[in-house]
Structure 1
């Protein structure tokens, strides 16, 4: 007697199998299944760059719509790494768009962490997709910067992200966090000093 091999359900398929099936058949549900697996990580990335949370949620939805198109055209070897890079680049693009419409005008996007060596500009630049070496180098710096931020005490990290990424003033940070103004200033001062120390130890060959 012959038994028909049972087909795998979508939840049993690996990321690679779902990607291949989507390129073959174009079923958006396969992308949805794939995206659901990584949704928490994607939202965490978006939330680091974009506030309030509603903006991060909008970015998550926009990224899904981009995946529907991009994954039809591109083969992706490591989906997790590719998705995280795509999410970061999208958030940086949003921040650049905000900067262009701000009273200060345009120019390159810079995540200013004063006196934090040249990491302050390299970590925040949105790079063209056709410059893979420079993109890899900047991606490594972004990862290192994010790691450095997570190593800070919560109050310092939160105030730095609000002040530099969201360009909030002291009063806005105090309102958002519940800290008093003197504590906000202390967290920013100590956070900048600690971040500078960590970034100065960034390995120059990290992306090689």
Structure 2
């Protein structure tokens, strides 16, 4: 809450944030821009890494990568570019894990480079677009709904565990989940038809 008083009064577009960062190197604006898309980055990282802590670490590492990459890359569509950066970062992490356990045959260098360089298959792109939309839709939920949905679906906690972690009554957790799922569904349908 304290830091929010220092934020800009008017929200900038992604392009304005990028231009400002390239001009000044100011990390505050870059942080605000990244925060806008952080749920999408987490969703992508969690999809590939399957571990919440690893996904959270990846979210921070991707931000560190942006600090240098954005000084040299001209980015037209930040959201889709960021999606690709997060995806490629996770693929590199998975490859390093496999190499570390001696399973290099799964990802031979040439096949891996082709996999990363090729555009995602139509089905992968559809799934990744849906994940991106999901990140956007999570932001419109009431805080209690969003927290309950994230704990239930991303961390796979049961009602009792969510209640213990949040302090919500179990009946409230069930209500937040039910309403959160309904609101997410409406938002996602709106994005598909919009």
TM-score range, shorter chain: 0.5 to 0.7
Q: Which runs of 5+ in 2 are unaligned?
A: 1-6, 132-155, 159-194
Partner of 1:104: 103
Q: Do the aligned partners of 2:44 and 2:128 also contact (CA within 8 Å) in 1?
A: no
Which of the numbers 117, 126, 129 marks the counterpart of 2:116? 126
Distance 1:140 1:11 in 2: 37
TM-score (norm 1): 0.52
Task: Tell which structure's C-alpha radius of gyration is larger.
Answer: 1
Partner of 2:29: 30
Partner of 2:42: 43
Shift of 1:73: 1.2
Matched length: 125
Shift of 1:72: 1.1
Change (3 A) 1:66 1:177: same
Q: How does 1:15-26 map to 2 (within 5 A)?
A: 15-26=14-25
Shift of 1:126: 2.3
Partner of 2:86: 87
Q: Do the aligned partners of 1:18 and 1:30 also contact (CA within 8 Å) in 2?
A: yes
Shift of 1:142: 2.8
TM-score (norm 2): 0.55
Shift of 1:99: 1.0
SS in 2 for 1:77: coil
Q: Which runs of 5+ in 1 are unaligned?
A: 1-7, 110-120, 128-134, 150-175, 179-208
1:67 and 2:66 matched: yes
Larger helix proportion of the pair = 2
Partner of 1:163: none
Shift of 1:11: 4.8
Q: Structure with the greater relative contact order (CA < 8 A, sep ≥ 6): 1 or 2?
A: 2
